[in-house]
């Protein structure tokens, strides 16, 4: 059964170097998916394959039934938006940065932003609480503020698929939760399909409805968080002893590490 995003037996990687192999999964429209696995497992390589930064060696990817390899850069930008791990630091006003998300919709010989482009940028800036920062330079913002501005720019593309590469990796818990709550709202209210690389397993469990766990360039397992995040799977993939419990409020898995001292004394 096909989904909104279909990854069909893809392999990609670097010439003479690391490759991911035979990756298959399907996301329904409106899914909130997390890609998890230890460093070097292939998460970023998969991400680059989906975004088109790395060419496919095998397989194909369909978005809404269209083969992504057949789309132009502009056509792709209207369907998917990417937020990287490190938000850009540049001497450009926040408003101008967010308006860059409207570039795929510019007509030939259009050199200035149209009124509707500006209104849309302002809408998403208000949604991400960055409107009050519109006259500041991106380089003047905190890490959390830059990530929110990146989301506003991505949303201005009006994508159907939002791809995020470890967006919370350098944020404190306040900004992590604020960021993830925003993505969750967008996922629910706009039926925006989300796929993100996540390192924090408990965070992934709490927010995602589908997880793909990778090991050594291949899929180890995939499915709902409670099926994927078992202590057996985590210990096999991460080579780390953990305890997995259930969040008493959400019912989602929570992963607890165990220190070497506790293991020694047990």
127-143 per-position pLDDT tens digit: 999 999 999 999 899 88
- pLDDT value of residue 111: 64
CA separation, residue 181 to residues 107, 174, 178 (Å): 35, 11, 5
- pLDDT value of residue 1: 45
Cα 136–Cα 140–Cα 145 angle in degrees, nearest 5:
85
| Domains of the chain, CATH where assigned | 1-64+160-240 (3.40.50.300), 88-158 (no CATH)
> What does the alpha-carbon distance between residue 68 and residue 234 come to, in Å, rounded to a whole number?
32
- pLDDT value of residue 200: 94
Is residue 213 within 8 A of residue 220, CB to CB? The reply is: yes
The contacts of residue 147 (CB under 8 Å, 6+ apart) are 83, 87, 167, 168, 171, 175, 179
Distance of CA 115 to the CA centre of its chain: 30
Tokens 């924090």 locate to 200
Q: In which residue ranges of the chain is pLDDT below 70?
A: 1-2, 85-88, 108-112, 266
């Amino acid at each position: 059964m096909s989904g909104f995003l279909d990854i069909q037996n893809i392999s990609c990687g670097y010439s003479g170097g690391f490759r991911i192999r035979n990756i298959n999964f399907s996301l329904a429209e409106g899914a909130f998916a997390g890609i998890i696995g230890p460093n070097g497992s292939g998460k970023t390589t998969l991400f680059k394959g989906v975004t088109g930064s790395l060419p496919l060696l095998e397989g194909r990817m369909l978005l809404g039934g269209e083969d992504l390899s057949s789309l132009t850069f502009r056509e792709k930008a209207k369907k998917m938006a990417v937020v990287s791990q490190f938000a850009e630091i540049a001497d450009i006003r926040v408003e101008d940065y967010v308006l860059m998300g409207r570039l795929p919709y510019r007509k030939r010989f259009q050199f200035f932003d149209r009124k509707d482009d500006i209104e849309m940028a302002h809408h998403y800036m208000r949604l991400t609480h960055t409107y009050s920062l519109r006259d500041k330079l991106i380089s003047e913002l905190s890490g959390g503020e830059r990530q929110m501005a990146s989301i506003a720019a991505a949303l201005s593309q009006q994508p159907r698929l939002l791809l995020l590469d470890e967006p919370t990796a350098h944020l404190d818990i306040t900004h992590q939760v604020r960021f993830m709550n925003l993505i969750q709202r967008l996922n629910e209210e706009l039926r925006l399909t989300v796929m993100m690389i996540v390192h924090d397993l408990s965070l992934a469990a709490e927010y995602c409805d589908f997880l793909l766990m990778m090991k050594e360039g291949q899929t180890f397992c995939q499915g709902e968080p409670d099926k994927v995040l078992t202590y057996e799977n985590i210990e096999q993939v991460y080579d780390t002893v953990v305890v997995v419990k259930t969040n008493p409020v959400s019912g989602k898995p929570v992963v607890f590490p165990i220190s070497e001292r506790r293991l020694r004394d047990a």
